[in-house]
Amino acid sequence: MLVEVARLGSVSKAAEALGLTQPTVSLHLKALNTTLGVPVVERQGRGIRLTESGHLLEHHARRALAELERAQQALESQRDLSKGSLRVGAGISVGTYLFPEIVKDFSEQHPSIELRVEVGADNDVADLLKRGELHLGVLSGVGNHPDLEARDITAHPLVAVVGPGYAGASKGKMSKEQLRDATLLARRNGSETQRLADIYLAGMRVKPAGRWGFDTPEAINGAAKAGLGVALVSELTVRRELRDGELVKVNFAGAKAPPSVPVQVVRSVHHAPSPAERAFLELLESRIA
């Protein structure tokens, strides 16, 4: 109940979503205040919001609900893969360029499994995994976290690309001086690919004169095609453009090759994989291989 109130910001909307009356929800909230000895909700204009104590309780409630759902799914899935649900997430690059066909194949092979997919910044998907709201994620990296385990399944090279005829590149090469004078077309915060690109540039001791931020790989590709600057991106996101000549790969004179961007399967350490998770992982790894 508290989770729905937090999500919808309204007692009446939460009551409607739960199939209860508004007085019933209000009574339960008052009972929570009395039992805990601290208020869990407070008025905000015409709506309602959680107090600091309420947010703490909601966090644990979400995890408890997620574990209860896992237990129900585990009992159902002991029989076969004809029932249950699976919640998977992916970073934007993986979710855009690898996931669609894999998700399509999984849905066709296991039509009775309710599949939910979340695609977003690596950090956002990792947060959903930490809160137990996803079963597994396919990301470019999440760092070390006690609640998560990560396993590399492949990697894609980081490549520098420009539009055809870009004035700052000649025959697929750029000097460090030309790169310093260029505009870097970059992903916004939360992208592991961009973090690796920035580390690479720092190692070269090069800071481009300008920097434009974009939310998606497609937006960066479009800006690069238009000749607006240089992009350091995962090769996964520009395969078609490089093949069709819409973008050109460039090397930086006197610099080592850029690193590769890992692709990792990330999951919680607190539960064993269900049959649906194992089936999805087998399909994922076979398609990537």
Give the per-residue pLDDT at 6.
Answer: 66
| DSSP output for 236-273 | GGSHHHHHTTSSEEEEETT-PPP-EEEEEEEEETTSPP
Contact indicator for 270, 133 with CB cutoff of 8 Å: no
Top pLDDT among 206 and 56 is at 206
Q: How many CB atoms lie within 10 A of CB 73?
A: 23
Give the per-residue pLDDT at 226.
Answer: 94
What's the pLDDT band for 132 if we cut at 50, 70, 90?
confident
Is pLDDT of 148 > 80? yes
Max mean pLDDT among 29-38, 205-214, 273-282 falls in 205-214
Top pLDDT among 65 and 288 is at 288
Give the per-residue pLDDT at 7.
Answer: 65
Q: Which domains does the chain have, with CATH numbers?
A: 1-80 (1.10.10.10), 155-262 (3.40.190.10)
Top pLDDT among 131 and 50 is at 131
Q: Which of 233, 180, 174 is nearest to 207 (CA)?
A: 180
Mean pLDDT of 53-77: 68
Is pLDDT of 55 > 80? no
CA distance 119 to 84: 21
